[in-house]
């Protein structure tokens, strides 16, 4: 009889294997079942040589690294998807912060419209919030401008933030802020523009409205205010550019300097100064849209108003600037505006009206489209429609340097309609707005004669001739170029009236 194995003694290797589901049977026959070790221990035990153990360690390490890398890669992929979906705003803010930290990189026409505060009932808050958004949208139509989005601006709502800090954080040059106060049925909107670098107030203005007008005339109100801000920002940027040292001046600075001349008033000296600055801008950067737009506007205005000494050279300059603008961006404001000027110069009034209407539709808060419509309609003999277009321009921008031109167009329409008293009044307004316009005094004098005030007309004409000895019948004929019969008849009546009181 065989002796029983002691506990832990190895099982007879010749014995048949014990199935996993037979522990009880094994115990019944007196066999000791060995307890299985964890697989890592068995694996390690089987690696009997040093190189094999090293190889095993390496395999374990590489496997671990692969697992960690897979996890990290997954996290990176998830973060990339988050950034693509939600991170655009954060990325934009980061870029703007970097720009603001680098001197000289802030765009010359860059701004944020901070949420307007309101003083009054809570039911007026909709107006200030909506106006903030609409002003942001309208200002964003300015060519080559940077206007911070409404949602970003609204993160400052209710905060007494220093404009200089806001400008640094958003990378802009100007901060627009303000408030609305309701008194009975009147609303006063107070706006200001603050220089983001120095914290100085560049401009401030109050706008008063009847509260009943807010809902029905909201778009017009927003356009008027946006235009006032647009003009002041251009004027301020131009003044700022003029103070830069030569090595600091970029093409856009020169273009803004040119527009700064324009906003001082439309005179021969300012148009010439603007043209010089903008010629330097395009010489420095042939892709400057703002520069070429300025060259087109100044050469066209100088030629049209008789300021240009060489009309043929002004024509060539306008044509070159228009061609460059079409190459750079045919849908840009300046490109479309220059095409209207070409049509006007060529006396193609139908084409001018079509392009002007497109310009007004695309840029409703910019009065240029309405001005070009008014001129084309006047030249086509559609006088009442011309008056309406000029009045739209006036509603949008009553402080514009072209106000004198718009009043003159209305006066010319009224003269052609034989409404001479109205024509005299608007001619006078044209002269007050801009005494440098060449035809306004003649239109006033002729309207006074036709109204039975011959002596008053003579005084106006003689004063004008003393300052403009070249004003004569030939000049009037060259300036009023329409071949439409009613325009020709009106021009002839004007010349005949002025000859009665001494026109050469």
pLDDT at 275: 96
Do 110 and 217 lie in one domain? The reply is yes
Q: How far apart are CA 357 and CA 497, in angstroms?
A: 34
Q: Which two tokens stand for residue 373?
A: 């419509």
Do 434 and 364 lie in one domain? The reply is yes
- Residue 363's pLDDT band, with cuts at 50, 70 and 90, is confident
pLDDT at 504 over 80: yes
pLDDT at 469 over 50: yes
pLDDT at 74: 53
Query: How many CB atoms are closer than 10 A to CB 87?
Result: 14
Do 437 and 402 lie in one domain? The reply is yes
Whether 405 maps to a domain, the answer reads yes
pLDDT at 7 over 50: no
pLDDT at 91: 38
Q: What is the mean pLDDT of residues 83-106?
A: 42
193 close to 175: Cβ distance less than 8 angstroms: yes
Do 63 and 138 lie in one domain? The reply is no
User: Around 295, how many Cα atoms within 13 Å sit in the side-chain half-sphere?
Assistant: 31
pLDDT at 25: 41
Whether 222 maps to a domain, the answer reads yes
Residue where a domain stops, chosen among 25, 55, 86: 86
Residue where a domain stops, chosen among 62, 86, 110: 86
- Residue 86's pLDDT band, with cuts at 50, 70 and 90, is very low
Q: Which is higher by pLDDT, 432 or 66?
A: 432
Do 360 and 421 lie in one domain? The reply is yes
pTM, 2 dp? 0.69
Q: Is 191 helix (H, G, I), strand (E, B) or coil?
A: strand
pLDDT at 50: 53
Q: Which is higher by pLDDT, 74 or 27?
A: 74
pLDDT at 73 over 60: no
Do 77 and 108 lie in one domain? The reply is no
pLDDT at 102 over 60: no
Q: How far apart are CA 314 and CA 307, in angstroms?
A: 10
Provide the number of structural domains found in the chain.
Answer: 3
Length in residues, the chain: 504
Q: Which of 148-162, 283-297, 308-322 has the lowest mean pLDDT?
A: 148-162
Do 57 and 148 lie in one domain? The reply is no
pLDDT at 98 over 60: no
Which tens digits make up the pLDDT trace of 386-423?
Answer: 999 999 999 888 878 999 999 999 999 999 999 999 99
Torsion over CA of 272, 274, 276 and 278, rounded to 10 degrees? -150
pLDDT at 106 over 50: yes
Do 271 and 401 lie in one domain? The reply is yes
Whether 20 maps to a domain, the answer reads no
Q: Which of 69-73, 176-180, 374-378 has the lowest mean pLDDT?
A: 69-73
Q: What is the mean pLDDT of the chain?
A: 80
DSSP-derived secondary structure letter, 87: -
Do 435 and 358 lie in one domain? The reply is yes
Q: How far apart are CA 418 and CA 343, in angstroms?
A: 28
| Residue the block writes with tokens 């003649």 | 442
Q: What is the mean pLDDT of residues 170-184?
A: 86
323 close to 366: Cβ distance less than 8 angstroms: no
Return the CATH number at 301. Answer: 1.25.40.10
pLDDT at 308 over 50: yes
Whether 140 maps to a domain, the answer reads yes
Do 280 and 208 lie in one domain? The reply is no
The parent domain of residue 149 ranges over 102-239
Which tens digits make up the pLDDT trace of 187-199?
Answer: 888 888 898 888 8
251 close to 288: Cβ distance less than 8 angstroms: yes
What would the DSSP string read from start to end of 437-456? -TTHHHHHHHHHHHTT-HHH
- Residue 69's pLDDT band, with cuts at 50, 70 and 90, is low
pLDDT at 256 over 60: yes
Whether 314 maps to a domain, the answer reads yes
Q: Which of 360, 455, 445 is nearest to 411 (CA)?
A: 445
Which tens digits make up the pLDDT trace of 479-499?
Answer: 999 999 999 999 999 999 999
pLDDT at 248: 58
Whether 23 maps to a domain, the answer reads no
Q: What is the mean pLDDT of residues 333-350?
A: 96
238 close to 260: Cβ distance less than 8 angstroms: yes
- Residue 55's pLDDT band, with cuts at 50, 70 and 90, is low
Q: How far apart are CA 197 and CA 195, in angstroms?
A: 6
Q: What is the mean pLDDT of residues 120-132?
A: 72
Query: Which residues make Cβ contacts (< 8 Å) with residue 414, sequence separation at least 6?
Result: 383, 387, 420, 422, 423, 426
Q: How far apart are CA 262 and CA 273, in angstroms?
A: 8
Long-range Cβ pairs for the range 280-287 (8 Å, 24+)? 280/254, 281/251, 281/252, 281/253, 281/254, 281/255, 282/251, 282/324, 284/249, 284/250, 284/251, 284/254, 285/250, 285/251, 285/252, 286/324, 287/328
- Residue 232's pLDDT band, with cuts at 50, 70 and 90, is confident
pLDDT at 105: 64
Q: Which of 185, 206, 208 is nearest to 124 (CA)?
A: 185
Q: Which of 45-54, 111-120, 251-260, 451-460 has the lowest mean pLDDT?
A: 45-54
Q: Which two tokens stand for residue 408?
A: 């003159």
pLDDT at 197: 85
Return the CATH number at 110. Answer: 3.40.50.10610
pLDDT at 15: 42
Residue where a domain stops, chosen among 61, 86, 111: 86
Whether 19 maps to a domain, the answer reads no
pLDDT at 250 over 60: yes
Do 67 and 179 lie in one domain? The reply is no
pLDDT at 23 over 50: no
- Residue 313's pLDDT band, with cuts at 50, 70 and 90, is very high
Q: Which is higher by pLDDT, 171 or 58?
A: 171
Q: Which of 360, 153, 401, 108 is nearest to 252 (CA)?
A: 108
Q: Which is higher by pLDDT, 452 or 264?
A: 452
Q: What is the mean pLDDT of residues 357-371?
A: 91
Do 231 and 310 lie in one domain? The reply is no
Whether 92 maps to a domain, the answer reads no
Q: Which is higher by pLDDT, 236 or 156?
A: 156
378 close to 486: Cβ distance less than 8 angstroms: no
Q: How far apart are CA 222 and CA 204, in angstroms?
A: 16
pLDDT at 81 over 50: no
Q: Which of 323, 85, 189, 487 is nearest to 315 (CA)?
A: 323
DSSP-derived secondary structure letter, 172: -
pLDDT at 84: 39
H-type helices in 346-453, by residue range? 349-362, 368-379, 383-396, 403-416, 420-433, 440-450
């Amino acid at each position: 009889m065989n002796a029983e194995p002691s506990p832990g003694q190895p099982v007879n290797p010749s014995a048949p294997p014990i199935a996993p589901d037979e522990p009880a049977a094994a115990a019944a026959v007196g066999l000791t079942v060995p307890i299985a070790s964890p697989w890592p221990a068995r694996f390690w035990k089987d690696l009997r040589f040093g190189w094999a153990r090293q190889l095993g360690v390496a395999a374990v390490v590489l496997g671990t690294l692969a697992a960690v890398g897979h996890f990290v890669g997954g996290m990176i992929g998830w973060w990339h998807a988050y950034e693509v979906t939600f991170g655009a705003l954060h990325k934009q803010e980061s870029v703007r912060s970097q720009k603001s930290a680098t001197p000289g990189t802030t765009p010359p026409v860059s701004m944020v419209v901070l949420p307007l505060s309101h003083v009054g009932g809570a039911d007026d808050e909709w107006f200030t919030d909506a106006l903030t958004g609409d002003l942001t949208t309208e200002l964003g139509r300015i060519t080559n401008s940077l206007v911070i989005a409404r949602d970003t601006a609204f993160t400052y709502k209710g905060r007494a933030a220093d404009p200089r800090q806001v400008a640094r954080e958003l990378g802009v040059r100007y901060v627009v802020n303000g408030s609305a106060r309701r008194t009975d049925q009147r609303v006063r909107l107070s706006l200001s523009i603050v220089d983001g670098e120095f914290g100085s107030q560049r401009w401030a203005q109050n706008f008063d409205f009847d509260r009943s007008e807010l809902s029905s005339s909201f778009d017009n109100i927003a356009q008027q205010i946006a235009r006032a801000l647009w003009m002041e920002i251009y004027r301020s940027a131009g003044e700022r550019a003029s103070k830069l040292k030569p090595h600091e001046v970029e093409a856009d600075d020169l273009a803004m300097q040119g527009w700064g001349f324009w906003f001082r008033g439309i005179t021969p000296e300012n148009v010439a100064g603007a043209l010089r600055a903008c010629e330097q801008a395009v010489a420095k950067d042939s892709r400057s849209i703002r520069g070429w737009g300025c060259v087109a506007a100044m050469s066209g205005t100088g030629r049209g108003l008789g300021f240009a000494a060489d009309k043929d050279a002004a024509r060539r300059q306008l044509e070159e600037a228009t061609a460059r603008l079409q190459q750079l961006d045919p849908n840009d404001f300046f490109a479309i505006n220059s095409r209207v000027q070409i049509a006007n110069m060529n006396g193609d009034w139908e084409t001018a009206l079509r392009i002007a209407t497109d310009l007004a539709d695309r840029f409703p808060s910019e009065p240029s489209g309405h001005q070009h419509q008014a001129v084309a309609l006047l030249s086509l003999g559609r006088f009442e429609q011309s008056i309406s277009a000029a009045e739209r321009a006036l509603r949008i921008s009553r402080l514009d340097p072209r106000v004198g031109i718009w009043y003159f167009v209305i006066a010319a329409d009224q003269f052609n309609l034989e409404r001479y008293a109205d024509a005299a009044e608007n001619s006078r307004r044209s002269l007050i707005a801009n005494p440098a316009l060449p035809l306004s005094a003649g239109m006033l004098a002729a309207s006074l004669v036709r109204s039975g005030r011959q002596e008053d007309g003579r005084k106006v004409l003689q004063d004008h001739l003393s300052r403009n000895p070249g004003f004569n019948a030939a000049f009037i004929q060259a300036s009023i170029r329409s071949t439409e019969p009613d325009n020709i008849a009106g021009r002839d009546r004007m010349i005949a009236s002025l000859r009665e009181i001494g026109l050469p």
